[in-house]
Amino acid sequence: MADSIPHRLRKVPRERWPRHIAIIMDGNGRWAQQRDLPRVEGHRTGVVSVRKITEECARLDIEQLTLYCLSSENWKRPQQEIDFLMHLLEQYMIEERSTIMKNGVRVRMVGRRENIPEQVLKELDQTVEMSSSNTGMWLNLAINYGARAELVDAVQAIGRKLTAGTLAVDAIDEDTISNHLYTAGLADPDLLVRTAGEMRISNFLLWQISYAEIWVTKKCWPDFDETTLHEAIADFSERNRKFGGLKT
């Protein structure tokens, strides 16, 4: 394994690597427009970056990778673009199965199933089922995801238990909330990566990233490659993570 570790990361102690990386994949349309291409070509090229980064994270034994694929606000985009995104998602679920299985990756969807076409859900569910017995990295795909909607759903689920008398008000704590989120059972991200130079969270994992380190690159997602990933990990390793306390 040592020989396969990128040069920039060889001097970084393994315990200082992030265990869970979350990425807001931004700039597909901008990348295409800069090249006088249709926006959909940016999305198409962005899928190539998804493949490269997923494989590299699996190779580096990163425990979890969460990708912001489609936000609940993205439905406001032109219908033609939405249809293409759904087609890409369905195609990805089919074409990447061999790569997912080869790398031992476990796939999980994070988000609401509503509004996602049945055929897309069918292929997604099949990939999730196929990979369920794998033991490698978790690949969490945030699809039709919005953090505020996630919190609303969690509060409603907790409220139903209160009404049914199966949960006491005084028993509600942070773990209760975490266990009712879409990400229940998954570790919180250590590192949040944002591409295209944007300096906002965009309604992504608001509860889960409370103590995540944020790393922003000006590169648009289609230009995000393995070297950029290594740079983010190396920068993370130099952060002094105090979690509200003090370290000497």
**Residues annotated catalytic, as ranges:** 26, 74
Distance CA 173, CA 169 (A): 9
Distance CA 223, CA 218 (A): 10
**Inter-residue contact 142 to 68 (CB < 8 Å):** yes
Q: Given CA atoms 38, 94, 181, 185 in this order, what sign does their dihedral have?
A: negative
Q: Which residues contact 73 (CB under 8 A, 6 or more apart)?
A: 146, 203
Q: Which of 5, 25, 27 is closest to 17 using CA atoms?
A: 5
Tally DSSP H helices, then E strands, for the chain: 8, 6
